[in-house]
């Protein structure tokens, strides 16, 4: 049985989470045009878009990696039924934080596994996140205190870092909020005898 595992992501956070869990894997770029898929699903619900992207990220590398287990994951922020994309610059990041201030949004995390161009497992996490009532000075202070890499994150926050102070309530587990549902993924790997027997490609 092939027990090779690929993570279809170059996300530092996802790589760290799998590495810290002792999972042996190879990280590759997924090669999916996310903007094109989002544009084609412009009228779809946020969760449908997130799940589709996670599936495509796992499926594409699985075509050329026969029998390998390919993990794909995607996140999306649902604010009042609208999908909020990653901020393009600091000004857009500020606007997003102003809109989220004092309100609850849902952070959707879809984690999937594909093998031989077929999705064989998926898990969808919905985390309700209540942001504090932040004024403009507090938002500017936050943006001044974080690195520009925060723009690569949905919602302009890393919950495991300074993003934590933006919230007075979070629902679900911190792994999912960080970008991949590790508890559920580890259960899948356990069920398939991959958790302790996986090896580096």
Provide the token pair at 174: 């911190």
Q: Is 144 a catalytic residue?
A: no
Among residues 166, 136, 5, which one has the least CA distance to residue 70? Answer: 5
Rounded CA-CA distance 6/69 in Å is: 6
Residue of 4, 35, 67, 74 marked active site = 74
Number of alpha helices (DSSP H) and beta strands (DSSP E) in the chain: 7, 7
**Residue from 142, 146, 147 nearest 167 by CA:** 142
Query: What is the DSSP code (8-state) at residue 50?
Result: H
Residue 70 and residue 4 in contact, taking contact as beta carbons nearer than 8 Å:
no
Rounded Cα gap, residues 94 and 108, in angstroms: 21
Number of Cβ within 10 Å of residue 44's Cβ equals: 15
Give Cα separations from 61 to 10, 27, 73, 138 (angstroms).
Answer: 13, 11, 13, 42
Catalytic residue numbers read 74
């Amino acid at each position: 049985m092939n027990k090779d595992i690929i993570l279809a992501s170059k996300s530092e956070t996802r790589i760290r989470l799998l590495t810290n869990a002792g999972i042996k894997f190879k990280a590759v770029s997924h090669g999916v045009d996310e903007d094109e898929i989002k544009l084609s699903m412009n009228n779809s619900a946020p969760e449908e878009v997130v799940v589709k992207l996670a599936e495509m990220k796992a499926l594409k590398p699985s075509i050329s990696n026969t029998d390998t287990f390919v993990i794909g994951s995607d996140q999306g922020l649902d604010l009042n039924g609208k999908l909020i994309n990653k901020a393009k610059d600091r000004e857009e990041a500020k606007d997003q934080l102003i809109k989220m201030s004092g309100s609850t949004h849902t952070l959707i995390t879809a984690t999937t596994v594909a093998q031989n161009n077929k999705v064989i497992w998926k898990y969808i996490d919905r985390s309700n996140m209540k942001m504090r009532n932040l004024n403009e000075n507090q938002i500017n202070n936050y943006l001044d205190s974080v690195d520009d890499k925060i723009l690569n994150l949905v919602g302009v926050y890393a919950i495991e870092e300074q993003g934590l102070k933006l919230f007075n309530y979070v629902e679900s587990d911190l792994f999912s909020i960080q970008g991949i549902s590790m508890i559920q993924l580890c259960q899948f790997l356990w069920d398939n005898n991959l958790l302790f027997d996986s090896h580096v490609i």
